[in-house]
Amino acid sequence: MKIATWNINGVKARIDTALQWLAEAKPDIACFQEIKSVDEAFPAAPFEELGYHVATHGQKGFNGVALLSRQPLEDIQRGLPGDDTDEQARYIEATVSTDGGALRVGCLYLPNGNPLGTEKFPYKLRWMDRLIAHARTRLAEETPFLLLGDYNVIPEPKDARNPKDWLGDALFQPESRNRFRSLLNLGFTEAVRASTDAAETYTFWDYQAGAWQRNNGIRIDHILLSPQASDLMRGCGIDAHVRGWEKPSDHVPVWVELAA
């Protein structure tokens, strides 16, 4: 089973690219972030024609997440628990049945947190605290669980081509990175780094200043696996070539293969 995550940076602007990638990569489950669409306006039909069931948690013009699955999506949860006043659409979760049982999949678009010195950074940290609490609850269930998405966190200096450029950015602040480590330390396996320790392993290249052409990238899109999911892991990859397509997102897909 192939499960992927991709910040598509606008589903309507990127619909042709998304369909091209789905036809090429053929993931069983795809987690999209930044769909930038309310639920009722999400263009589900083209994805359904490819054989996917679709669930969304959208918001007009900003944020928004979606789950696509070849198997029916069950027990769908929209929104991250812990703050009923949070109106930003950043989390969706569902169960997917497999030959071996079932998987629980959480798709997240973690707050960016910039600029520092505004309420956006404390909001990011509070959101991460809520994610840690929710993840702890899911892990206690001892079923295969994956947390995939755009984490907006650069975990280590080697995850940026030029780490010094990010010292004043919310993605690379000690508080953000510490919380990411706290999440991992609950017992998750970070799929990419479990597969490779190579430098220049990136998932995002800015549109500005020829970042893609100069490979000035960062790694902020991550797949975390519970111990039960980690036992099923058979491979992992980054479809970096998609960044070179026409009208690309500034992110690229990241995927994991499970024996499920």
**Residues noted as catalytic:** 109, 150
Other CB atoms within a 10 A radius of the CB of residue 230 amount to 19
Residues 6+ apart with CB under 8 A from 187: 139, 226, 227
Question: What secondary structure does DSSP assign to 42-87, as a single string?
Answer: S-HHHHHHTT-EEEEE--TTS--EEEEESSPEEEEEES-TT-TT--
Nearest Cα neighbor of 149 from 105, 188, 186 is 105
User: Are the beta carbons of 204 and 166 closer than 8 angstroms?
Assistant: no
Exposed, middle or buried by CB within 10 Å (0-12, 13-18, 19+), for 197?
exposed
